[in-house]
């Protein structure tokens, strides 16, 4: 059986494309696995974060170090809320280790 140059080039291109797709899929799976490991984990100590609702704003707090974390736009939304002294109330509760249900 003889192979011509065009067949060899075709299969080389096809193999290279399959390899590229496999690598991309492996990288995507690794990135997703890494994201899942860190989702809702404290960036400071690595313990679990729990979410509290303060007047419609979701605030994440660490169960270990009690750090408070805001997602994009949450701090600004909290400052714009019409609830009186909301920031003071949130930080007072955090300082006491008390969370609002």
The pLDDT of residue 3 is 66
The pLDDT of residue 2 is 62
The average pLDDT across 64-89 equals: 81
Report which listed range, 15-19, 57-61, 68-72, is most confident. 15-19
pTM assigned to the model: 0.54
Burial of 66 (0-12, 13-18, 19+ CB in 10 A): middle
φ, ψ for residue 49, nearest 5 deg: -100, 145
The average pLDDT across 87-101 equals: 68
């Amino acid at each position: 059986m003889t192979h011509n140059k065009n067949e060899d080039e075709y299969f080389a291109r096809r193999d290279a494309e399959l390899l590229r797709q496999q690598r991309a899929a492996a990288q995507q799976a690794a990135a997703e696995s890494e994201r899942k490991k860190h989702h809702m984990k404290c960036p400071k100590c690595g313990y679990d974060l729990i979410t509290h609702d303060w007047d419609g704003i979701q605030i994440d707090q660490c169960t270990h170090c009690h750090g408070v974390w805001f997602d994009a736009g949450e701090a600004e939304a909290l400052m714009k809320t019409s609830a009186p002294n909301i920031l003071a109330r949130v930080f007072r509760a955090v300082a006491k280790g008390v969370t609002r249900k």
